[in-house]
Structure 1
Amino acid sequence: MLSEVTATRYVTPLREGGSLPGIVEADDLGTYVMKFTGAGQGRKTLIAEIICGELGRRLGLRVPELVTIQLDPVIGLAEPDEEVQDLLKASGGLNLGMDFLPGSLGFDPLAYEVDAAQAGKVVWFDALINNVDRSWRNPNMLIWHGDLWLIDHGATMIWQHNWAGAEASAAKPYDASDHALAPFGPDITSAAAELAPLVTEELLTEIAADVPGEWLVDEPGFATTDALRRAYVEALLPRAATIHTRITLDSPPKDRPSRAPGWLTGKDGAK
């Protein structure tokens, strides 16, 4: 179960994110990157953050600790930015927080080398959750204390936006050609052999239980929040067993910004 804290101070917005996340301090003396229920992307983004972030952590990948954060909108009264004020006013109650990693740097394939085993695990994981937001344009990875950390899993599990077609959507392949770690020759076969057996029904059920019930209510087609939690389990479980056979790694795009080694089409860089 995720820890719950209460926001005590809104520090600053992070303009890099489309949902306008912000750095907040909380009553546990922690500092968090907070994502808001009142943001335009809606609560499903936060559901994806929890399910995918916690799944990544259970699989041994580095994901900053997640918490739920109680927000009193009065905290934003002194905020001079009207857009931030509106967001805080619309997000009273329970929101999501990700542990802030001070001094972390954005992943740069020219400055940080990833071995094939680690690259394979990240690519396999992203294929499992259908992450469309880990490209070289926007890697959503940080380097902190010399280690690779994964962040921002809101743009995953696209099937949750159309549950009627979820089974067909979850059965689709995953094109990793544009993945930020594709240049490092990811060992997907070994990653699947190691990680797929860990994705059990019990594990997924436990992770789905971490999602606050208030974020699951009133979903069309589901009579109860438990039924909706079950739908997340049923989408991910069969995908874990077979997705490695449906990952494609074709030639890199010609407009990619680096010539990092390891492309399957040329280990010394694309020509």
Structure 2
Amino acid sequence: METHTNRLRTVTAVRYVTPLRSGGSVPGVVEADDLGTYVVKFTGSAQGRKALVAEVVVGELARHLGLRVPELVLVNFDPSVAAGEPHEEVQDLLHASAGLNLGMDHLPGAADFTPRTPGAPEADPVESARILWLDAFTANVDRTVHSSNLMTWPASGPQKPLLWLIDHGASLVFHHRWESAADAVGKAYDFRFHALGSPGLDMAAADAELAHRVTPRLLRRIVAAVPDAWLADEPGFATPEEVREAYVAHLASRVRMSDRWLPQVAS
């Protein structure tokens, strides 16, 4: 079997800056030994390691399809770097997350993209169709008008702010029940509350542009970036490599069935 590597960089946390309480997983801003600052999602969070798997798979897939995602890195985290964190529940999370976690490059000054509100920037319809296609393909249930998980950056300067995709941990819902994952391969996508699901998007064009690029070769390259530790001890699988192949098989089958799940946006 042909395999491919798409390794994420690994950094080590040297300073825990602050928790972010905007989401249930309580990610944290961390400074690392490469002088970078990252928003880190922790393995000890309520969402667990599968949310991190989804972040890697969907985030790297988006990047390979030409969409903007802040760089993802693996973060070695020692809870001792956060000894000064005063909140007991955050300390519990951090102590449960010793070892390898997932970081996303922090975009300084980035702003939440809030669609359909006065003064919000207009999203490019071609890019909107591509993002909606990605979300439908990966069954992302968390890019809504209430929480778009889109950022605009840079926030100032001569360049027009660009959309950046974040927070894909709620995608790939099939991997929470592998025993019934086959039933979800062709499942339709409910886009009624999608942040970018406006009338007139050319979803057929997005499908024609993107679907043929999602090959088993690309998928194997992407899932190779997921650490073995996040795939180990999965019921029904003997090795992490078997789990990786299950992701490849599911997503390769789903992309061939886009006629079943492609959003039919009214003109």
**TM-score, length basis structure 2:** 0.91
Residue identity matched to 1:69: V
**Cα distance change on mapping 1:107 and 1:148 into 2, 3 Å:** same
Question: Any idea what SS the aligned residue of 1:25 has?
Answer: strand
1:221 and 2:230 aligned? no
SS at match of 1:6: strand
| Structure 1 residue 243 displacement after superposition | 2.2
What are the equivalent positions in structure 2 for 1:238-249 lying under 5 Å apart?
A: 238-249=253-264
Contact 1:107 1:143 (8 Å CA) reproduced:
yes
Sequence identity percentage: 53
Aligned counterpart, 1:27: 33
Please report how far the alpha carbon of residue 30 of structure 1 lies from its aligned counterpart in structure 2 after TM superposition: 0.3
Aligned partners of 1:71, 1:151: CA distance in 2, in Å?
Answer: 21
Report if the CA contact (8 A) 1:176-1:247 is conserved. no
Query: Which of 37, 41, 44 is matched with 1:38 structurally?
Result: 44
Secondary structure in 1 matching 2:137: helix
Q: Partner residue of 2:70? A: 64
Among 172, 194, 200, the alignment partner of 1:157 is 172
Alignment of 1:14-163 (within 5 A): 14-109=20-115, 110=117, 111-145=120-154, 146-163=161-178
Using the alignment, how far apart are the partners of 1:25 and 1:63 within structure 2? 19
For residue 112 of structure 1, what is the amino acid of its counterpart?
P
SS of the residue 1:182 aligns to: coil
> Which residue identity is paired with 1:65?
E
CA distance in 1, matches of 2:42, 2:130: 29
Moved runs in structure 1, 4+ residues, more than 4 A?
A: none
Matches within 5 A, 1:195-214: 195-214=210-229
Alpha-carbon distance in 2 for matches of 1:170, 1:241: 10
Q: Deviations over 1:165-202 (max 9, x none)?
A: 11111220111121100125322111111111110100
* Residue 14 of structure 2: aligned partner: 8
Q: Could you say if the C-alpha distance between residues 247 and 177 of structure 1 is closer, same or farther in structure 2, counting changes exceeding 3 Å?
A: farther
State the AA in 2 paired with 1:178.
F
Structure 1, gaps ≥5 residues long: 251-263, 266-271
| Residues 18-53 of structure 1 deviation map (CA, whole Å, 9 limit, x = unaligned) | 100010000000000000001111100000000000
Q: Give the SS at the match of 1:194.
A: helix
Structure with higher RCO (Cα < 8 A, 6+ apart): 2
CA distance in 2: counterparts of 1:236 and 1:119, whole angstroms: 21
Alpha-carbon separation, structure 2, partners of 1:60 and 1:184: 23
Equivalent residue letter for 1:38: G
| Map of 1:231 onto structure 2 | 246
**Residues 38, 88 of structure 1: 8 Å contact kept:** yes
Query: Which moves more between the two structures, 167-176 or 18-27?
Result: 167-176
Q: Aligned Cα RMSD in Å?
A: 1.3
Q: For 2:101, what is the secondary structure of its paired residue? A: strand
Offset of residue 101 of structure 1 = 0.6
Write the distance in 1 (CA, Å) between the matches of 2:226 and 2:153: 27
Greater shift after overlay, 205-214 or 166-175? 166-175
Structure 2 gap ranges (5+): 1-6, 155-160
